[in-house]
Amino acid sequence: MTLSSLLPMEIAAMRFIDLPQVAALEAAAQVFPWREEHFTDSLHAGDRGWVLWRGAQCLGFVLSMHAADEAHLLNLAVAPAVQRQGLGAKLLRHVLRDAAAVGIRRMYLETRASNQRAQTLYSAFGFQEIGLRKAYYPNGNGREDALVFCASLDNWKE
Ligand SMILES: CC(C)(COP(=O)(O)OP(=O)(O)OC[C@H]1O[C@@H](n2cnc3c(N)ncnc32)[C@H](O)[C@@H]1OP(=O)(O)O)[C@@H](O)C(=O)NCCC(=O)NCCS
């Protein structure tokens, strides 16, 4: 056990100064990562970002976009070294509660058809597959379909 692993975890609103760490985590976790400019644009556009910290260490993040009473989950990642410890679920719970608290009724997201672990996580939180976008994502030598998921937030209101 390291000293830093004894520090408490906290989720805080994503700030522009966090973006180098957020983008580095994204590059380590995703095969086709967003670049730092994507995160900058997203914050400038008013999207809601949250970062999971342990001390100064960025463990994960989540970003969503709100429009009227609907939200879109834009991105979610956990640092590879700390995956499968419940942190993705913690971030997803936080973003669902945050959205429900400001009156969002439904949250949508897209995920790669091949991303079984993300789909298992989303299904456990009540997301249901509602559609498919053909050839939505780039992959190594072509394009990959996206599955579209939606969850009602009625049960997430405090
Ligand atoms: C998807 C991701 C965010 C999950 O984060 P995580 O912290 O590892 O997830 P958790 O530990 O909270 O897991 C919650 C549940 O998700 C499912 N899950 C997570 N990782 C899994 C894996 N490798 N295999 C199968 N199921 C998995 C399980 O149901 C798990 O619950 P359990 O551990 O009780 O069985 C993480 O794997 C990640 O950052 N992946 C790369 C980026 C990505 O794909 N983001 C989603 C884009 S749509």
Q: In the structure, which protein residues have their CB atom closer than 6 angstroms to any atom of ligand 1?
A: 29-30, 76-78, 83-89, 111, 115, 117-118, 120-121, 124
Q: How many domains does the chain have?
A: 1
Q: Supply the residue whose CA is at minimum distance from atom 43 of ligand 1.
A: 77
Q: Which helix (H) or strand (E) holds 115?
A: none
Site to substitute for ligand 1 among 115, 117, 129, 147, most atoms within 8 A of C-beta: 117
Q: What is the pLDDT of residues 129-150, one digit of tens each?
A: 999 999 999 888 899 999 999 9
Domain hosting residue 80, numbered range: 7-156
Q: Is residue 1 part of a domain?
A: no
Quote the pTM value.
Answer: 0.95
Q: Is 110 a catalytic residue?
A: yes
Q: What is the CATH number of the domain that holds 152?
A: 3.40.630.30
Asked if 68 and 77 touch (Cβ cutoff 8 Å), the reply is: no
- Per-residue model confidence (pLDDT) at position 1: 61
Residue 112 Cα: closest atom of ligand 1: 48
Q: Evaluate if residue 29 carries a pLDDT over 90.
A: yes
Q: Is residue 26 part of a domain?
A: yes
Q: Is residue 2 part of a domain?
A: no
CA-wise closest residue to 108 among 124, 90, 126: 126
Q: Evaluate if residue 64 carries a pLDDT over 80.
A: yes
Go through the chain and tell me how many residues it has: 158
